[in-house]
Amino acid sequence: VQLQASGGGLVQAGGSLRLSCSASGGTSSRYLMGWFRQAPGKEREFVVGIRGSGGSTFYAESVKGRFTISRDNAKNAVYLQMNSLKPEDTAVYYCAAGRTNPIASVVVTTTPYDYWGQGTLVTVSS
């Protein structure tokens, strides 16, 4: 399975970006999909996740109300709409896919994600 993230860039605070993640090589609409981010000098952190079947979503508190995840199973793609961006959102954003659909407390960790994309850089200027 290969994941390709795109859509990052430089944006001013308050602006918006839409990240895309295209999957190939045997992904399933049942896969758990997620976005993580890693800022310079910090650990990778969970941003948002979406289950395959049913499409339940999970958001980090820091992005609730500003970010929205969606998926298009026909296109094997996942999207992250990011609005009201803040300088603290600056990071490399990674998409990830998992073959299982664990409980919520595990969804927000890196544990259930088997495949990772290469990352796309988002820079938010103040």
pLDDT mean for each 10 residues of the chain (126 residues): 96 98 86 96 96 86 97 92 98 96 92 96 97
* Residue 55: predicted pLDDT: 78
* Residue 52: predicted pLDDT: 84
* Residue 30: predicted pLDDT: 86
Q: How far apart are CA 63 and CA 74, in angstroms?
A: 27
* Residue 54: predicted pLDDT: 63
- Nearest CA-CA partner of 32 in 97, 94, 95: 97
3-class SS of residue 12: strand
Residue environment code for 56-84, b if the CB has 16+ CB neighbours within 10 A, otherwise e: eebbbeebeeebebebebeebbbbbebee
What value does the CA radius of gyration of the chain take, rounded to a whole number of Å? 13
Half-sphere exposure of 95 (CA within 13 A, CB side): 30
